């Protein structure tokens, strides 16, 4: 029996407009595999950072780099929309004949992206996102995982001067970046999804690989699913998880080692999840590690089956507007 079949009662049988209290929390380790810049696209802007307590006990305050919630889900939405476009599952908007697209204020209101991640049409309908997100915090202090690099833009003659006018190039400056093997912790909470919708969302997460600015050249990220929790309420925050993992990994040391091994971080996330879950007022089911691994294998095999993916998309789309 597959993992999704084993936990079939944790999913809705069909889409509902009304909250049902079915929560699924995905515990993600966003493992940076190249230089990355988590800021607004362009040059000169600093990385997004916040001053927060280092661990759960208060005390020391450090600056952590953050990946904003929108910068995470925007990437994963585009991954999903690419899949929908491949199978002709993006439909014309409500006011124009243009296919459903982000930032056009004219959603189709019937594709999986609209119905799961939400939309708000000016003067029209709205769908609240069923993917609840928050800023992801770096595990290490910003000073440990960031550095700066100077950039320039040469002309065709391999110099900084225009070969026609002799004018110097103005394209020179310094960018701050996140180092490879930095770690960010994130919880994506999915609310009231069917099994097919869950396959779609988790597939988007596992298939997304470029985050942040200048993502065509840097920003390679590996998303590791460290844990899954079924519950009837939302759990703790990304910051609480990050602080608890930081405490576990640092121990009695003055500083946290960098870089860390992925297996060490995964174990710390699982331990912190168990610890923090004890104070949640609600019913929780924490998947054991072997089932989390089996779930990733199941989703991986599913996306390699083109017919299964097409059937999933068609079945879910019909669910929103039954004929």
Q: Is residue 174 part of a domain?
A: no
Give the total number of structural domains in the chain: 1
- 44 falls within a domain: yes
pLDDT tens-digit profile of 179-213?
A: 999 999 999 999 999 999 999 999 999 999 999 88
Q: Residue 83's closest CA among 207, 189, 196, 193?
A: 207
**How far is residue 125's CA from residue 89's CA, in Å, rounded to a whole number?**
20
Tell me the pTM: 0.91
- Identify whether 156 is part of a domain: no
With beta carbons less than 8 A apart as the criterion, state whether 113 and 100 touch: yes
Inside any domain, residue 173: no
Residue with tokens 């004890």: 278
Q: Tokens at residue 289, please? A: 């590690």
In tens, the pLDDT along 128-157 reads: 999 999 999 999 999 999 998 766 565 555
Residue 59 lies in a domain: yes
User: What mean pLDDT do residues 217-243 have?
Assistant: 96
Asked if the model's pLDDT at residue 249 lies above 90, the reply is: yes
Are the C-beta atoms of residues 226 and 241 closer than 8 Å to each other? no
State which residues form the domain around 266: 3-141+180-320
Which pLDDT band holds residue 163 (cuts at 50, 70, 90)? low
How long is the chain? 323
- Is residue 137 assigned to a domain? yes
How many Cα atoms within 13 Å fall on the side-chain side of residue 38?
A: 33
Q: Using alpha carbons only, what angle is made at residue 180 by residues 237 and 28, rounded to the nearest 5 degrees?
A: 30
Residue 172 resides in a domain:
no
In a domain, 151, yes or no: no
Average pLDDT over residues 91-116: 88
Contact 170, 155 (CB under 8 A): no
* Average pLDDT, integer, range 238-255: 92
């Amino acid at each position: 029996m597959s993992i999704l079949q084993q936990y079939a009662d944790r999913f809705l049988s069909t889409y509902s407009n009304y909250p049902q209290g079915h929560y699924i929390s995905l515990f993600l380790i966003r493992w940076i595999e190249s230089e990355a810049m988590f800021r607004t696209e362009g040059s000169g802007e600093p990385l997004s950072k916040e001053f927060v307590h280092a661990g759960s006990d208060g005390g020391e305050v450090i600056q952590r780099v953050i990946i904003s919630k929108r910068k995470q889900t925007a990437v994963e939405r585009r991954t999903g929309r690419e899949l929908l476009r491949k199978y002709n599952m993006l439909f014309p908007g409500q006011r124009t004949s243009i296919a459903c697209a982000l930032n056009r204020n004219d959603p189709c209101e019937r594709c999986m992206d609209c119905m799961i991640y939400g939309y708000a049409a000016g003067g029209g309908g709205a769908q609240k996102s069923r993917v609840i997100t928050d800023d992801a915090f770096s595990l290490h202090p910003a000073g440990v995982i960031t550095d700066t690099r100077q950039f320039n833009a040469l002309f065709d003659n391999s110099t900084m001067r225009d070969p026609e006018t002799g004018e110097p190039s103005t394209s020179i400056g310094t960018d701050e970046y996140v180092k490879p093997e930095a770690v960010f912790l994130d919880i994506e909470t999915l609310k009231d999804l069917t099994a097919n919708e869950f396959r779609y969302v988790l597939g988007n997460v596992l298939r997304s690989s470029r985050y942040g600015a200048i993502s065509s050249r840097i920003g390679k990220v590996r998303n590791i699913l460290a844990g899954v929790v079924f519950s009837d309420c939302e759990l703790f925050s990304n910051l609480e998880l990050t602080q608890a993992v930081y405490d576990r990994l640092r121990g009695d040391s003055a500083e946290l080692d960098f870089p860390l091994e992925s297996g060490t971080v995964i174990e710390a996330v699982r331990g912190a999840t168990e610890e923090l879950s004890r104070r949640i007022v609600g019913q929780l089911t924490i998947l054991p590690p072997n089932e989390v691994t089996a779930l990733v294998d199941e989703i991986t095999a599913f996306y390699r089956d083109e017919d299964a993916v097409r059937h999933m998309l068609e079945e879910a789309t019909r669910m929103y507007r039954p004929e």
